[in-house]
Amino acid sequence: MPLTVLSDSEINSILYSLDRDDILVLQNNLAEALHEYSTGTQETTGCCQSNQPQRIAIPATNNQTTLFMPASTSTSRGIKIATLATAPEAPGNDSLPSVEPTTSNTSTTSSSISTSNPPKPASQMSNLSISSSNKTDPSITSSQTTSPIGSLTLLTSTGTPYAFLAASTLTAFRTALASTTIFTRRTNVHTVCVFGAGLQALWHIRLALLLRGADIHHIHIINRNFERARTLMETIYTSPSWSHLRNANAKLGFSIVSNEYGEYNRLLKDHVRKADVIFCCTPSTVPLFPAEYLTSTEGRKKGRYVCAIGSYRQHMIELHPDILRQAVAPEHKHHHHRHAERGGVIVVDSLEACMKEAGEAKQAGLSPQQLVEIGELLMVKKASMKEIEEGGEGEVGLKRWLQAGNVIYKSVGLGLMDICVGEDLVMLARERGFGTMVDGF
């Protein structure tokens, strides 16, 4: 069997060639693998949890960490080795960043760009008036890339190597593919907030537009550093591979919000409160916004899908623990305010991995009983929907919660995701003529 070698640029070319139907096929394949991970045994599937060793993290210099992530499916074995920047541990990580609401009469220049107004060229965008707040936090600086550098090696079930793939874009894509599984089923996705401006943010935005572009009206990119956010915006507005997505919906508009703006606090609260979907894609060590934006009476009036995928160590955190605590708290039936429905659990990619590594789960003091794996949840919903189609009642409450309630999804990443998506990419590469073939390897 020849060895297929795929560079990062070749993986990009494959992924940018995919349409909505292609994405749905890959998403279904990943959902099936995650279901087998959650419910299978060694006698029934190679994807079962028993066949997925915990990853090994080895600290390197300059706040780098190298991860070794072995995994298997029913048809492949493999390992991803990736090195990425890690935010340093700092005392007081349980405290909120200084983003409390303020009232200000300061006049600031808006960075909002909509499809009805052509984007400014870089020479004009650089002249935007920005009031620096000089705020810092112990997260990774915005100038330092947080994309993993490494590779994925795939072997057949008998141990023959058959593919070697670059890991950067693959990791961002497979994470977004899992995140948007629930997103695709949401009733309302008009307003999307994305924290971060790296590869993870890019692929969450692209898949959101591919899957639900006709329903999205606003995408707010929130990032500490304006220049990185502007670079992402320029990619979206100038790259030919984005033209069909940015032009498909006349109502679609984008905006950039940075804490370099004097009115950052007001804009942050406004965007988070109005959001139907929040994608958190940053390796932060402090909450990205105060808990009360979502936990107050006003914040709880609407249902949201909140996805936190950027932080993957115990000292890293994107969501304030109070947000998770409220999500799993028992529902009080006799309150006097209308609140969006809660499910009583946090959705995770892996219960074992999140209990061990997810800062949000650890700092909120969650128990395993307060987490449910996405693979198990989606297949329960699938069976419920089939029952409803056949005239039964199904899990009506589950359907209502997943589609319109407050759903929090936390992911720290699984090697199984890399293997599953990597298998599909190798198949697509061979079908479409991408990659380098090494015979007799």
Summarised one tens digit per residue, pLDDT across range 129-155 is 232 344 444 444 444 556 789 999 999
Percent of the chain scored above 70 by pLDDT? 79
How many other CB atoms are found less than 10 A from the CB of residue 188?
Answer: 14
Q: How confident is the model at residue 45 (pLDDT cuts 50, 70, 90)?
A: confident
Residues 43-69 have a mean pLDDT of 88
Residue 100, pLDDT above cutoff 50? no
Nearest to 301 by CA among 257, 278, 253, 335: 335
Phi and psi dihedrals of 385, rounded to 5? -65, -40
The alpha carbon dihedral of 163, 164, 165, 171 has a sign of positive
- What 3-state class would DSSP assign to 207? helix
Nearest to 261 by CA among 292, 230, 235: 230
The predicted structure's pLDDT at residue 338 = 54
Name 424's Cβ contacts closer than 8 Å, sequence gap at least 6. 25, 26, 29
Residues 410-429 have a mean pLDDT of 96
The predicted structure's pLDDT at residue 42 = 86
Cβ–Cβ < 8 Å for 141, 223: no
The predicted structure's pLDDT at residue 239 = 95
Summarised one tens digit per residue, pLDDT across range 205-221 is 999 999 999 999 999 99
Summarised one tens digit per residue, pLDDT across range 151-172 is 999 999 999 999 999 999 999 9
The predicted structure's pLDDT at residue 116 = 40
Residues 337-352 have a mean pLDDT of 78
Residues 20-39 have a mean pLDDT of 94
Summarised one tens digit per residue, pLDDT across range 300-320 is 989 999 999 998 888 889 999
The better pLDDT of the pair 139, 124 is held by 139
The predicted structure's pLDDT at residue 90 = 52
Mean pLDDT of the chain, nearest integer? 84
List the strands of the sheet with 277-280, edge to edge: 113-114, 253-257, 218-222, 191-195, 277-280, 305-308, 407-410, 346-348, 371-373
The predicted structure's pLDDT at residue 341 = 64
Give the integer Cα–Cα distance in Å for 34 and 42.
Answer: 14
Residues 16-36 have a mean pLDDT of 95
Is the pTM of the predicted complex or chain greater than 0.95?
A: no
Summarised one tens digit per residue, pLDDT across range 259-270 is 887 789 999 999
Q: How confident is the model at residue 107 (pLDDT cuts 50, 70, 90)?
A: very low
